[in-house]
A and B are shown apart, each in its own frame.
Chain A
Amino acid sequence: MMHDDDKFNEWLRQTAKGYHTPRPTPHDEMWQRIEAERARRAARRVVELRPWLRWTLAAAAVLILGIGVGRWTARQETGAGGGRPVATNDTAGQDLLYQIAATQYLSRTEAFLTGFRSDLRTGRADARFTGQARDLLTTTRLLLDSPAADDPRLGALLEDLELVLVQISQLAAGRDTHDADLITQGMDQRNVLPNLRSAIPAGPVPVRTEGVL
């Protein structure tokens, strides 16, 4: 004679067959998507090397900028001092270099974020923003690792910008506008744009270094 537990278990097995009953397996449909996804990932593995290349290029750009600024400063001081030997102060030179680099970067980022918000409002924000965000992100991270980030205010601002740029760079082309709205809400909550604008020194961005970074 069947025990009560056994009866229940048998009844349960039979009744539960209807739990989340699968439809026929879509063999071909899934196979096509698997092949497409594998190809996409294989391509991405190649592309993933590019950030390293961008880092290298950005580092090289900073180096070139430093040399350029150093020479320019030396010429200015030589001209002003009538052939007086140039005083070499490494720390001061480095600070100037990072200040110029940071100002350049902040100006570009402000223009980018302002454009992003504006285009978002009019529904014209598109995939080109993700590429620009990635480029700015590279510079942000370089600056975060540089003495420029020693300044607590600028360091905090750079961290906020890094977060915003990461989010924008990850926006999919056919994204839900909700994601983009969340980014702008986050920017507003952290006062990113006002902080960014107040961090940019008054006056024109140094012309000689424009576009280097």
Chain B
Amino acid sequence: MDERDLINRVRAGDGVAERALYDAHVDRVYRLAYRLAGDDALAQDFTQETFIRAFERLGTFRGDSALATWLHAITTTVVLNGLRKVKRFRGREADLEAADGVSGARREAEPDLKARLTRAIDALPQGYRTVFVMHDIEGYTHEEIGVALGVETGTSKAQLSRARAKLRESLADFAGEWVS
């Protein structure tokens, strides 16, 4: 079915079309939510909220961009706002812990590359982390990221570059891994 037909049917209240639209996009929405949240329950909550909002607001979708891009803009808004609330709720303990890992103070106690990389990515400023996850891990283009986050393409590129630089600094102990 053509995407425009699908959208029109959803707007007309067709439940089958709603499910078809959901099935077509849910994997990528959930993946992005999971990558950013790092928690299955939160990722499910964010995915659900994304689709609920999308169905509510589909009437305002003008088709200037692809539906997927529009959906991912809703996803990033839902996830980033949701994570801010979670962060406020949980206090600053997680931040302090993550920052501690990046500072290098616990390098000797934590030799595992995967764990160190995870902590380093978690500790990135939110804007850098979002762009890095979307581009380098999930394969979004800078144009898609720009639309999703409401920033210029150049900003997305600059943030990715800074994110990589910070990660390189944080992972200096493992330089041999990529030099070789």
| Interface, chain A (partner B; CB < 8 A) | 4, 7-13, 15-20, 22-23, 25-27, 29-31, 33-34, 37-38, 41
Contacts and interface: CB of A to CB of B under 8 A. Distances in A.
Nearest to B55: A38
Contact of A20 (B22, B26, B34, B52): B34
Given A13-B136, A34-B48, A22 B26 contact: no
B137 A16 contact: yes
A11 B51 CA distance: 34
B164 A9 contact: yes
Contact of A25 (B30, B167, B177): B30
Nearest to A33: B48
A27 B48 CA distance: 10
Nearest to A41: B52
A4 B179 contact: yes
A23 B43 CA distance: 10
Contacts of A10: 178
Interface in B117-140: 117-118, 121, 132-133, 136-137
Interface of B: 19, 22-23, 26-27, 30-31, 34-38, 40, 43-44, 47-48, 51-52, 55, 113-114, 117-118, 121, 132-133, 136-137, 164, 167-168, 177-179
Contacts, number: 76
A25 B27 contact: yes
Given A12-B136, A30-B26, A20 B48 contact: no
A15 B113 contact: yes
Nearest to A16: B137
B177 A11 contact: yes
A20 B35 contact: yes
A8 B121 contact: no
Contacts of A27: 23, 26
A33 B27 CA distance: 16
Contacts of A33: 44, 48
Contact of A12 (B55, B114, B167, B179): B167
Contacts of B137: 13, 16-17, 19
B52 A23 contact: no
Most buried by B among A20, A23, A30, A38: A20
Contacts of B26: 25, 27, 30-31
Contacts of A26: 44
A86 B179 CA distance: 101
A30 B117 contact: no
Given A22-B30, A30-B26, A30-B44, 14 more contacts: A11-B177, A13-B136, A15-B177, A16-B121, A16-B136, A17-B137, A19-B117, A20-B36, A22-B43, A30-B48, A34-B52, A37-B52, A38-B55, A41-B52
A16 B31 contact: no
A31 B23 CA distance: 9
B35 A22 contact: yes
Contacts of A22: 30-31, 34-35, 43
Contacts of A25: 26-27, 30-31
B117 A15 contact: yes
A62 to B, nearest CB: 37
A18 B119 CA distance: 12
Q: Which 6 A-B pairs have the closest CB atoms?
A: A11-B178, A22-B34, A20-B38, A25-B30, A8-B178, A20-B35
A23 B22 contact: no
B49 to A, nearest CB: 8
A18 B178 contact: no
A44 to B, nearest CB: 13
A30 B35 CA distance: 17
